[in-house]
Amino acid sequence: MQTQLHLTFEQALLDAARVARDSLARAKAEAKRQAELDKLGRRLQRETARRERTPDQVALCGLYYYNRSPRTRANGSFWHNCVRCGKALQYYDTYEEAKTNNRECQNPSPARL
Ligand SMILES: [Zn+2]
């Protein structure tokens, strides 16, 4: 049995104030949660963009080093042939793999140097 400390209208005012306080706190928590989610989404977008432009494949021709990233692979803006000898480049996922398959860069004509 709860003893009545306030008059009825006082209790009603207190209840209304508590309800207002609770709903404000809930709204604040929801806004904070949404802000955190937005932040995470933007972070993931940046991370994806960074991975897209980071070179992940390597090609070697003699001393000439070439690489390409998922983005350059998608739009085709990477070196397809060696700038010195014109040989078609083979890209590998690791530098060691490219090194073992590396051939000498032989310039077909000295005039192209
Ligand atoms: Zn070459």
Tens digits of residue pLDDT in 60-94: 999 999 999 999 999 999 999 999 999 999 999 99
Question: What digits encode the pLDDT tens for the residues 11-53?
Answer: 999 999 999 999 999 999 999 999 999 999 999 999 999 999 9
Rounded to whole angstroms, what are the CA distances from 51 to 54, 69, 71, 75, 105? 5, 8, 9, 15, 31
> Cα(107) to centroid of ligand 1, in Å?
7
> Domain map of the chain by residue range?
1-53, 57-112
Structure token pair of residue 22? 């609770």
CA distance 97 to 88: 17
Distances from the Cα of 35 to the Cαs of 42, 90, 108, in angstroms? 11, 46, 60
Q: How far is the CA of 84 from the centre of ligand 1 (A)?
A: 5
Strand partners, 67: 58
The alpha carbon of 1 and the centre of ligand 1 are apart by a number of angstroms equal to 93
Taking the whole predicted model, whether its pTM rises above 0.75 is answered as no
For ligand 1, the distance from its centroid to the CA atom of residue 13, given in whole angstroms, is 85
